[in-house]
Structure formats: structure tokens, C-alpha cells
Amino acid sequence: MITVWVLGDQLLDPHPVIEKAIQEVGVSNVTVLLIESTERTLRLPYHRNKLILLFSAMRHYAVRLQHVAIAVDYRQADDFKSAIDAHLQHGKPGALWMMAASEFPTRQFQESLVHASGIPAVVHPNTQFLIESHNPLGDVPAGRRVVMETFYRAMRRHHQILLDGSGNPSGGRWNYDAENRKPLPRSAEIALPPSFAPNEITRSVMDMVKGLPQATGSGDGFSLAVTHEQAELALADFIARRLPSFGAYEDAMTVRSATVFHSVLSPYVNIGLLRPMQMIEAAVTAYRYGLAPINSVEAFVRQILGWREYMYWQYWRLMPDLAQLNHWNATRAMPAFFWDGITDMNCLRHVIDRLLTDGYSHHIERLMLVCNFCLLAGVSPSDVCEWFLCLYADAYEWVVLPNVIGMGLHADGGQIGTKPYIASANYINRMSDYCADCRYSPKARTGDDACPFNFLYWNFLIAHETALRSNARLGQNVLGLRHLDAKEREAVQRQAAAFLESLTPYASPGVG
């Protein structure tokens, strides 16, 4: 008898470890263990939509397995350890098999079971990430810097994605990012992602999650996909209705839509309802049939084969030290308005309000609004990471730590990103319509109407001028300081200090 413990973010179909167990001992001798852990659920004030997605998908997965005659032991327990101990005592399997967790702490726990479970325990390789099966870069020495573009091109070559017959990139270029920065026209028609009405299983989860005292957001309007079939419909909908316009307006932000032309598929691929290569092949097929332009398809492929795989690779390269990195010595607590949306900054108010409702905002808003503000304001990287883990339905430690600490806050000193992604209100005004109805002016550097992004931006440049000058990619930004005389520098620093002092800190009720 073999028990296969499947984590809630490993809902693969087919699941390689389940398949291997069935091949070895037969389906009648395999039991799948699924666990809803109270300790894990209450560790942080997670968004209710995130919890509903996870638990509903797990319960649907259990039904799916049972429909093909695979036995399931579905447990609700105080923690993973107590559930596993109870299962082993009751079922008395001859072995415990697992797929390696994507998160460092859970993989450590799995490794402890290998030595302390009392039966043979095996941790099999993780197949949710392409980099786990083959790293085209080979062994990279610790401390050697590998930029994402180098990683991305190596992955493209290895997996033969968007290449012509001679091994050159389709369309003649590896990267079309320069063509993906158009502001959204007022006349643009935006197709919303599909919504899925909750069934009886999902409604029971919604009722359970509604009663959790720590959770964030209401969860009442939950409409995400919770099965593989629904996730596949969401993928097909994106390919047909939003991928063609995705590339050109990838960086655009608007009060009209939280999703614009983005796929909104990350919640599904991150828990196994979709596979990365499945998504890549769907987009590449659309390009081959002339249904989507190269700049859109390459941008989508880069998000998955480049950015997603790169974040995961860097996470495992840099852990456990990554979680403690704080290059800019930022110590400010996360402002309370990030948890209630009460702020005069129109851009952040819209993003936070949507997050509290849906648990989603697209990646440019995460990088150029949330992380940009937190870096300029000197917010502690650990606080920012905790906030992301709580509010975003697609957030897991393997992606949050490298993306926030490395790319968003540059708190790793440049091991992941090549420069701090900082910008003034001018960028936000150019790439969005948020500034039009904001009480702050995107043009004023100081004064009562000045946008906080402006004086915080210039204050950051002043405070870190020497360090920033050493980064070639920030040369023009730092050179801009020459336009500020001593009097204006002082005014910037004074207004920034007063604004930051006025921010009410948020004390998280997290217990772990």
C-alpha cells in the first residue's frame, strides 16, 4: 500500500506521483491524502477568495480522483503533522510518497518525514516547473549573477519555443517588450475574463471561509475556476479574446478594469489546474495560425517560460537567506491604508479596493504602484511580502519572495533585478488614467497638491544618490537631481518626511 500526500497547490491531472504509485502497486493499493490544515489557514490574514479557491479546488480534486476509482483520505486537521500521523495510524500504508513542495518550509517538513515517519517516505521531483526537470544554464556558481533575459533565451532554445527552422527567434527578435508599453485608448473594448458560478461544493467552502475571523475580503462574489475543465475554458477564453491585444497594452493601467487584457491564469497554474507548457503551446498555436501578433505571444511566453521559471529558480538558489535581505535598510511598517484602501492616492485606492474584493491586480500595478511606493517609502521587505501573501489569490512564497524582495524592492542588492524599479507620478500618468480624477497633481514635485510618488521619488534619489549613481541603468534618473537646487532638495526632503510620519502603521494579526 502506498499513500501519496498531495499538497493543495499540486492538483495536477495526471499527477506524476499518483501515476507512478499506480504503476508500481496498482490503483487498488493507492490512497491519496489531502489535508486542510487549520494552522496553515490561520497563519496570516489571507484573502477569502484565495482560501475558497484553494479549498474548493482541493475538494473538487478529491471527487475527480474518486471518479476514477482512486481512494482518497480527505482530512481537516490542526496541522499537517497531526493529519499525517492519524492517517498512517489508521491506514497503515507501507510507504508515503510526496511531490517536492514548491515552498521552502514545506519541503523542509517533507524531508523531516523521510527521517521520522516510521515508514519508507520518498520525496519525488516537482513537475510544476520546467526548470526542475532541466536547467539549460547548468550549474551556476553561487554569487554569479544571471539576468532574466539570459535565462529566458536559454529556456526558449531548450524547449524550442518561438524559434524558426534555423534556431533564430520568431519575428527576428527575442524580446518585444519595447512594443508592449502603449497606454490604453479610451475607445478600447475590454473583454472580461470568464466567471464561474459556485456549485454546492464551492458554496460550502464559501460558508466555511466566511466564518474565519482573521481572513481578509468578503469572498461573497467568488467566481474563479475550481476545476481543470473550468481553468481550461479560462485559458481558451484568454487566447481567443484578450491575447491579441495583450502585448501592446501589457503595461497599461486603468480605472475601467483590473484585468485589462491580462490572462488572469496565474491562480490556476500556481495550484496545478493548468500546466505551464499547456499555456505556452496554446499561445504559440494562436501565433502560428495568425490569431495573435508576435509581440503579444512573445510577451505571454516570457511571463511563463521567462519570468515565472526565473523567479522559481532564483527562489531556490537564494533561500533561505532571500527572506532576510534588506539592501536599503527599510524598516517602516506597512501602512494601514494598504489593508483598507483609505487613501487620497487614486491609483493605490483603486488597486487596493479591487484587491480587497477580488484578490487580484495585474503585474504592472504590483510592480510600478505597490512595490514602487513601498520602496520609495522605505517599507520593510518582510512586511510587503506578508501583505502580498495575504491579499493576492495567486501568491505563494516561491513567487512572492523573489518578485517582491528581488525585482519589486531591489532589496537583494541586484541579484535578481538589474535596477530598482522606481518611478515618479509622471510614469503613472503616462501609463494610466488614474491621475485624471486624483486630488494630487502628477506634475507638482512639492506643495499641497504634489503627488506623494513625486516627492518620495526625488527624496529616494537624494537619500541614495551615491549608491544609485553606480547603477548604469539609472544614470538619467540620478542626473535629474542636477535640476534641483539646495532649496528644492530641502523642500522635497521635508515634505517626504512629513508624509511618511503621517502614515499609520498596520499591525498584522499573523501568528507565524
Burial of 139 (0-12, 13-18, 19+ CB in 10 A): exposed
Average pLDDT, rounded, for the chain = 95
* Residue 61, all three cell numbers: 480534486
- Conformation bin of residue 4: beta by default, left when phi > 0, alpha when psi is -120 to 50: beta
Cα separation, 64 vs 351, in Å, equals 36
* Residue 41, all three cell numbers: 489557514
Which range is least confidently modeled, 275-284, 320-329, 448-457, 469-478? 469-478
pLDDT score of 251? 96
Rounded to whole angstroms, what are the CA distances from 476 to 415, 481, 482? Answer: 22, 9, 10
**Residue 500 CA to chain centroid, in angstroms?**
27
| β partners of residue 74 | 34
pLDDT tens digits, 221-240: 999 999 999 999 999 999 99
CA torsion through residues 415, 352, 333, 507, sign: negative
Band (pLDDT 50/70/90 cuts) for residue 218 is confident
Pairing verdict, β 95-99 and 71-77: unpaired
User: Of 3.10.350.10, 3.40.50.720, 3.30.70.20, 1.10.579.10, which CATH number belongs to 337-502?
Assistant: 1.10.579.10
pLDDT tens digits, 66-120: 999 999 999 999 999 999 999 999 989 999 999 999 999 999 999 999 888 789 9
Cα separation, 154 vs 98, in Å, equals 30
CATH class of the domain whose range is 132-193+242-318? mainly alpha
pLDDT score of 118? 83
Cα separation, 106 vs 37, in Å, equals 12
Cα separation, 53 vs 485, in Å, equals 53
111, containing H or E segment: helix 104-116
What is the residue whose three cell numbers read 458554496? 203
pLDDT tens digits, 305-330: 999 999 999 999 999 999 999 999 99
Q: Is 409 helix (H, G, I), strand (E, B) or coil?
A: coil
Residue 511 has pLDDT above 60, yes or no: no
* Residue 126, all three cell numbers: 516537482
Q: Which residues have CB under 8 Å from 98's CB, separation 6+?
A: 4, 5, 7, 17, 110, 113, 121, 122, 123, 124
Band (pLDDT 50/70/90 cuts) for residue 393 is very high
33, containing H or E segment: strand 30-37
pLDDT tens digits, 394-442: 999 999 999 999 999 999 999 999 889 999 999 999 999 999 999 999 9
Phi and psi angles of residue 208, each rounded to the nearest 5 degrees, phi first: -65, -45
Cα separation, 385 vs 219, in Å, equals 22
Q: Is 295 helix (H, G, I), strand (E, B) or coil?
A: helix
Q: Is 335 helix (H, G, I), strand (E, B) or coil?
A: strand
pLDDT tens digits, 139-155: 888 778 899 999 999 99
Q: What is the residue extent of each domain of the chain? A: 2-127, 132-193+242-318, 337-502
The conformation of residue 359, written as its DSSP 8-state character, comes to: S
Pairing verdict, β 2-5 and 71-77: unpaired
| β partners of residue 30 | 2
In this structure, whether the domain defined by 2-127 belongs to CATH 3.55.50.30 is answered with no
30, containing H or E segment: strand 30-37
Which of 230, 226, 225, 238 is closest to 191 using CA atoms? Answer: 238
DSSP string, 1-59: -EEEE--TT---SS-HHHHHHHHHH-GGGEEEEEEEEHHHHTSS--BHHHHHHHHHHHH
pLDDT score of 62? 98
